Structure 1
Amino acid sequence: MIDKTALWTVIIGLGLGSFFLRFVFTGLVGDKQMPAWLLRHLRYTAVAILPALVAPQVLWPSATDGQFDLPRVSAAVVTLGVGLLTKNVLAAILSGAVALYGMLYLVG
């Protein structure tokens, strides 16, 4: 087990760091107009972060100890296809979830 002091130090440190990152944008820059080049780059934040969060779970799923898993790869392909065809994030996420749980039900 981790020492309680170390655990709370990490929790408080991460909380303060997270608050500081948000405060920089909302508290210090919130009432100022941001440059166009920064706004252009911020539009791609979600597009960059979501695949980075999902890719490890598709390529090296912890549920199968890193072995290839057909349901997760199928769900990723369905999600990508629906997202490209419809340009609708919600439809892509829901179709991927349905594909994942459907394949898990079928494959086992």
Structure 2
Amino acid sequence: MRNAKRETVAHLTYFVVQPFKAVKGSRGKISAEEPIPARDHDHAMRMFERFKPIRAGVVAFRRTGDPATGDWEDAVIIARHGLLSAEVDGMTDASEAEFESWELGAHDLKVA
């Protein structure tokens, strides 16, 4: 039997939309609905816009990590609206997220 070569994804980014509904009979209380996975950033934003007018609150976020090791970065909010849970307040907004410069240097280029 030949050894099968396994390839894994080093880093994976997934996108999620989390709607919140108002709890009937209580003022200002919300309940999280099932989180909804999105294919990409644009899909997450379309779902976010769809839920904005019909839910008490909605948040769209992304998370990046290594599925093989289970090492995941903190979630980063890409859009938020309305009443949200306290856990959302602790998440980083995309506008506040730190990232390395996108500028390329000579060390980034390879000559074929």
TM-score (norm 2): 0.23
Q: Could you say which structure has the higher helix fraction?
A: 1
TM-score (norm 1): 0.23
Greater relative CO, 1 or 2 (CA 8 Å, sep 6+): 2
